[in-house]
Amino acid sequence: MTEKNVQELSREELLGLLADQETEIQNLKTELTAAQEEKRKRYKKKYWSTLRSTIATLVVVAAVAVLVAVLLLPVLRIYGTSMTDTLNNGDIVVSVKGTEVQTGDIIAFYYNNKILVKRVIASAGDWVDIDEDGTVSVNGEVLDEPYVTEKALGECDIDLPYQVPEGRVFVMGDHREVSLDSRSSSVGCVAEEEIVGKLIFRVWPLGAFGWIS
C-alpha cells in the first residue's frame, strides 16, 4: 500500500486496519503461547519419563548389587587386631562364597552372632601340633608361615596333637598372641556351613588396595 493510498483512506478505515492488525498480533501471541505451553508439557512429560526410567534403573542396579554382595561377594569390615599384620582394624575387604577353602586361605565365619576372620591352618582329618614357642606343624610337617611376624602358643587349651573333625577346618589368627581361635575350646574348629566366604580382595584403605594373601 503506497503513501497516497494510505492518505486516501478514511479515519474509520484506518482504525479498522489497525484493529485487524491488533487482532492478528493477538492471534499470533495466542498461538505462540499455546506452542510454548505444548512444548513445556512435552518437556515435562519427557523429563518425568526420563526421571522414572533413571530411578527404575538405579533401583535395579542397587538391588543387583545388594544381591551380589549378600549372595556371592559379601563385603566385610575388619575389627580388632587378631589378623595383623595381614589385615588391620578398619580394613574393608571383599569375600567370595561357594569356593572350596584350602590351607592358607583367610576365611570369615559365624561365631556367636558375630563374624570372625581367621586363616585356615588345617582341614578335616589333619593332625595339628603347636610347640611351646608357637611353631605349628600339620601332619608332622612344620608350616611355612611368612604371614606371622611373632609366634606364640596363645590361648590354647586343647589337647595336642589335635585331629580336625570331619566337615570342619582348624583356623588361627595371624597375630598369634592375641587371637582367639581354634586353639581355644570356646571357639573350636569351624564347620563348613558356618563359613561366610573366603577373603580375596581389600578395597580400603586405598594404599593397601589389592589381593589378599
Active-site amino acid positions: 82
Rounded CA separation 177/162 (Å) = 19
Where do the H-state alpha helices sit in the chain?
3-8, 11-67
Unique residue bearing C-alpha cell 581361635: 181
The 162-163 sheet, strands edge to edge = 141-142, 136-138, 127-130, 162-163
Residues 6+ apart with CB under 8 A from 48: none
Rounded CA separation 83/86 (Å) = 6
Rounded CA separation 10/18 (Å) = 12
What burial class does residue 148 get, using C-beta atoms within 10 Å of its C-beta: 0-12 exposed, 13-18 middle, 19+ buried?
A: buried
